[in-house]
Amino acid sequence: MNFSPYKRKFGMCMSVLLSSLFVHAQHPFSPEIPLTIKEVWQLTDSNSRKLQMKQLEVLAAEAGIQVARSERLPEIAANGVLAYIFQMPIYEKGLFHTPSQYPVEPKYYKVSADAYLNIYNGGKTNREIAVSRRENELATARKNLTKQEIHYIAAVYFYDVYRNKSYQLLLQQDIKDREKQLHEINELYKNGTVLKSDVLRAELRLSRQRMMLTEIENSIVIASQKLNLLTGRADDVRLNPVVSDTEADPVMLKGLSDYLSEAESGSFKVRISEKEQELSALKLKQIKSNVLPSIGLFGEYMYAYPQIQFYPYALSLYSNGMAGIKLKIPVSSFYTNKHKVKVAEIQLHRQEVEDEEVKENLRQEVQEYYIRYTESLKRIEVASENITQASESYRIVQNTYFNQLALLTDLLDAETQLLQSRFELTTAKVNARIQYYQLQKAVGTL
């Protein structure tokens, strides 16, 4: 008796069972949490490590403004000296003869305080405050740019899970249909209507579909973990992406010129470039001010013992103080500062060129993403038409096959085309949404 057909069926059943057990062992059951894309963005805003680092940079820049403002306050210092003064030998007959010792009071102490208030230093303090403000604005713009980039990455992961879950539902339904079809082909084989090869091909097709389902389930787990890491959740939390009908439908676009105008005023890349250019201009002014004089009020007062500052000396405690105006003219800066100015001018010019490049690249990105999005909308229309055609083709071939007027290969091809068309429609809708988010990110409205 030939047991090979039974061995083959038994082997296929075991492989399917083992693969199913492997998937469940890899992905333990956990309740799915429904989340919309806006809720995902809220989680990334709260839990993203990159955003937290950028926020700390913003706080540091805000503290830098206070540091710069504190330069306007007077400088006050207190000093104290306690010393032991050694005897003072006097070499009256030369260094190689025994000196006579001049009596010196060995104790010395001094307590003093001094203050300085800047009146004018070439505007450096005001510019330092302005530089700190620009750095704060720059840190804020960088944080917002990072926020938009993380929103886009989260959307890619979110819709990756959504797309694969849609694939999963389509494939599960297709497997049910293929199992029913396999049963019908087996009945035809028992009646001698079709060949054994038709049964084997149908079984092979069903086995491939089940393997594809396993791959899709694995892809869901991988994309979910990526999104969990981005949102600060546990790795094994399962995601059920909730996409409303309005989100799934294509978004009506404005004109390309409108998006270009929005990008020029709203893009954080442009803001960062402009702030860096303003920062370079302020640094150039700061370097040019190195040749300007500085004027300030000063005052100091002290108590000291003994009195050895003025003649005649006295072994007594004394006090002394002074106040006035201090003027400083940096004469050497007139010939050393010109090289620093040259470097700062080159840096500013480089920043101006970079700003133009950023704006040119932005216009190119906006136009490219706009065209790609309109192209993705066209793909949705084509994919919808392909499903209609593939469904009609499958209906015709299915009827002709079971009426013995077509080959099984024709039926399998029609089934593949129909499933592929459904996959392509889901992919087209997801890609259109991702392209739209990419356009929003470029414009600065994501």
Residue 324, beta-bridge partner list? 298
**220 is a domain residue:** yes
Q: How crowded is residue 222: how many other Cβ atoms within 10 Å of its Cβ?
A: 14
* Domain span at 48: 28-70+130-292+336-443
pLDDT digits (tens, 9 = 90+) for 199-230: 888 888 888 889 989 999 999 989 888 888 88
**CATH code, 285:** 1.20.1600.10
Is residue 406 helix, strand or coil? coil
CA distances from 200 to 19, 197, 386, 411, 413 (A): 20, 5, 29, 14, 16
CA distances from 280 to 3, 121, 287, 344 (A): 84, 20, 11, 7
**114 is a domain residue:** no
Percentage of the chain with pLDDT > 70?
A: 91
Is pLDDT larger for residue 341 or for residue 7?
341
- What are the structure tokens assigned to 231, written together? 């949102």
CA separation for the pair 255, 327 (Å, rounded): 62
- Number of structural domains found in the chain: 1
**307 is a domain residue:** no
**102 is a domain residue:** no
The pLDDT of residue 308 is above 60: yes
Amino acid 43 reads: L
pLDDT digits (tens, 9 = 90+) for 265-288: 888 889 999 999 999 999 999 998
CA separation for the pair 421, 91 (Å, rounded): 110
Contact (Cβ atoms closer than 8 angstroms) between residue 145 and residue 57 = no
**125 is a domain residue:** no
Dihedral sign from CA coordinates of 67, 70, 75, 76? negative
pLDDT digits (tens, 9 = 90+) for 131-169: 999 999 999 999 999 999 999 999 999 999 998 998 888
Q: Which residue has the tokens 């539902």?
A: 169
**358 is a domain residue:** yes
Predicted confidence at residue 152, as pLDDT, reads 93
**89 is a domain residue:** no
Among the residue ranges 87-91, 301-305, 440-444, the one predicted with the least confidence is: 87-91
**324 is a domain residue:** no
Predicted confidence at residue 343, as pLDDT, reads 92
